[in-house]
A and B are shown apart, each in its own frame.
Chain A
Amino acid sequence: DTGVSQNPRHKITKRGQNVTFRCDPISEHNRLYWYRQTLGQGPEFLTYFQNEAQLEKSRLLSDRFSAERPKGSFSTLEIQRTEQGDSAMYLCASSLGGWARAYEQYFGPGTRLTVT
Chain B
Amino acid sequence: AQRVTQPEKLLSVFKGAPVELKCNYSYSGSPELFWYVQYSRQRLQLLLRHISRESIKGFTADLNKGETSFHLKKPFAQEEDSAMYYCALSLSGGTSYGKLTFGQGTILTVHP
> Which residues between 15 and 47 of chain B lie within 8 Å of chain A, taking CB atoms?
32, 34, 43-46
Q: Within 8 Å of chain B (Cβ to Cβ): is A109?
A: yes
Contact A45 B99 (CB under 8 A): yes
- Complex: chain A residue closest to B91, CB-CB: A99
Given A44-B102, A107-B43, check contact A99 B97 (CB 8 Å): yes
| Interface residue? B96 (CB, 8 A) | yes
Docked pose: A102 CA to B92 CA in angstroms? 11
The answer for the CA separation of A60 and B89 in the assembled complex, in Å, is 18
Q: Please, how many angstroms separate the alpha-carbon atoms of A45 and B101 in the complex? A: 7
CB nearest to B96 among chain A residues: A56
Measured between C-beta atoms, what is the minimum distance from A30 to chain B in Å? 11
Query: Which of the segments A12-20, A35-43, A62-70, A74-82 contacts the partner chain?
Result: A35-43
Residues of B within 8 A of A4 (CB): 43
Q: In the bound complex, what is the Cα–Cα distance between A105 and B101 (angstroms)?
A: 13
User: Given the known A-B contacts A107-B44, A108-B43, A109-B43, are A40 and B104 also in contact in the complex, defined by CB atoms under 8 Å?
Assistant: yes
Give me the interface of B with A, judged by CB distance under 8 Å. Answer: 4, 9, 32, 34, 43-46, 49, 86, 88, 90, 92-93, 95-105
Give A residues with C-beta under 8 Å from B: 3-4, 31, 33, 35, 40-45, 48, 55-56, 91, 93, 95, 99, 102-109
